[in-house]
Amino acid sequence: MESSLPDAERPRRPEWMKVRAPSADSRYFDVKKLIHGAQLNTICEEARCPNIAECWGRGTATFQILGETCTRACRYCYVHSGRPESPPDPLEPLRLAQTAFQMGLQHVVVTSVDRDDVPDRGAGHYAATIRALKAKLPDCTIEVLTPDFLGVEEEALETVLAACPEVFNHNIETVRRLHRAMRGGKADYDKALWLLRRAKELAGYPVLTKSGIIVGLGETNDEIVETMRDLRAHGVDVVTIGQYLQPSSKHAQIDRWVHPDEFRRLREQGEELGFGSVFAGPLVRSSYRADEQRHAAETGRGAVAC
Ligand code: SF4
């Protein structure tokens, strides 16, 4: 599956995937200074997200806790993979809360690397981060995009949900047929679905559940709809669908550029399945305009054009 095509033969990036550079009159450089000054990581930078000029320019970002090194090696992901050199930083939650406060965030999105080397898989660090945010920003809403907490799923969910995040997100990432090949032997399609359903059962409050699908990895549109159907069957409220971008020649080869018209159709199909919010578009990422995704789901506006 790895790309062996010379650059000239790789599928060219279509017009609709073009993004703008950071502009000096946006909040981009202020956000960058705050985040770097607080020695925090973001998935925006670690995954080289194409939306960084837009999101940081609007004054938003998605924090990545638990370090820079992920103990998994998904074939589509740019985040550094390996053996983390240090335990979770106990002061990171406080620095993150202070930075979110300085940024004036009203909806904070927190994700992380996988930490299979830590006994609780990082669940306690998530909870500490949520609590620090709620103490510093009592009126903000919090969204966590968590790993699968391999082997300690139930306890980890209890720990995270006890801190009451408003949105619990776990990305299914791809369709059932490709899941193992793309995510490796530790990840499991049905376990991801279970985690989403169980989060809702355990929460004890009306938590929104959310998941994301990357397209262009070799799946068909019918398989994407099937995946959405599985998510709905497990009570998921919000779904995002976005185009895969191959980070390097060592990563999974891009299979196709999904046309905006196909995204539009997928969005309609998601809406027909009953999601509270469907964000589908070439540049959509799980945390793209996450505040609007949450708002759409809560106010029943349904699908949103991107
Ligand atoms: S879409 Fe998400 S990861 Fe990408 S720049 Fe925006 S907030 Fe960051």
Count how many domains the chain has.
Answer: 1
The two tokens of residue 194 are 């279970």
The predicted pLDDT at position 1 comes to 35
Query: Which residue type is seen at 264?
Result: R
Atom number of ligand 1 nearest to Cα 52:
5
Residue 51 in contact with ligand 1 by CB distance below 6 A:
yes
**CA 42 to ligand 1: nearest atom:** 8
76 CA to centre of ligand 1 in angstroms? 16
> Taking a C-beta distance cutoff of 8 angstroms, is the pair 31, 56 a contact?
yes
How does pLDDT run across 6-36, given as a tens digit for each residue? Answer: 555 566 889 999 898 888 888 999 999 999 9
Distance CA 70, CA 84 (A): 7
Whether 169 is covered by a domain: the verdict is yes
Specify the amino acid at residue 24: A
Q: Is the pLDDT of residue 305 over 60?
A: no
Q: Whose CA is nearest to atom 2 of ligand 1?
A: 287
Residue nearest to ligand 1 atom 1, measured at CA: 288
Range of the domain at 281: 21-305
Does the beta carbon of 111 lie inside 6 Å of ligand 1?
Answer: no
Whether 31 lines ligand 1, by a CB cut-off of 6 Å, is no
Let me know if residue 8 belongs to a domain.
no
Return the ligand 1 atom nearest residue 284 CA: 1
Q: Determine the pLDDT at residue 2.
A: 39
10 in any annotated domain: no
Percent of the chain with pLDDT over 70: 94
Ligand 1 centre to CA of 234 (Å) is: 26
Tell me the pLDDT tens digit for each residue of 121-152.
999 999 999 999 999 999 999 999 999 999 99
CATH at residue 162: 3.20.20.70
Query: Could you tell me if residue 252 is inside a domain?
Result: yes
In a domain, 1, yes or no: no
Residues 242-269 pLDDT 10s: 999 999 999 999 999 999 999 999 999 9
Which ligand 1 atom is nearest residue 61's CA? 7
The ligand 1 atom nearest the CA atom of 47: 3
Q: How confident is the model at residue 208 (pLDDT cuts 50, 70, 90)?
A: very high
CA quadruple 67, 69, 73, 74: dihedral sign:
positive
pLDDT at position 4 is 46
* DSSP-derived pairing of the beta strands 41-42 and 208-215: unpaired
Of the candidates 154, 147, 197, 142, the one whose C-alpha atom is nearest the C-alpha of residue 173 is 147
| Residue 108 resides in a domain | yes
Please indicate, yes or no, if residue 6 is contained in any of the structural domains.
no
Span from the CA of 290 to the centroid of ligand 1 (angstroms):
9
Task: Categorize the per-residue pLDDT at 54 as very low, low, confident or very high, splitting at 50, 70 and 90.
Answer: very high
Is the Cβ atom of 49 under 6 angstroms away from ligand 1? yes
- Within a domain: 162: yes
Q: Which amino acid is at 171?
A: N
Q: Are 136 and 100 in contact (CB under 8 A)?
A: yes
Taking residues 161-179, what's their average pLDDT? 97
In the predicted structure, residue 288 carries a pLDDT above the cut 90: yes
Give me 6's structure tokens.
């010379």
* Nearest Cα residue to 114 out of 152, 59, 143, 61: 152
What are 289's two structure tokens?
């305009």
pLDDT in tens, 58-110: 999 999 999 999 999 999 999 999 999 999 999 999 999 999 999 999 999 99
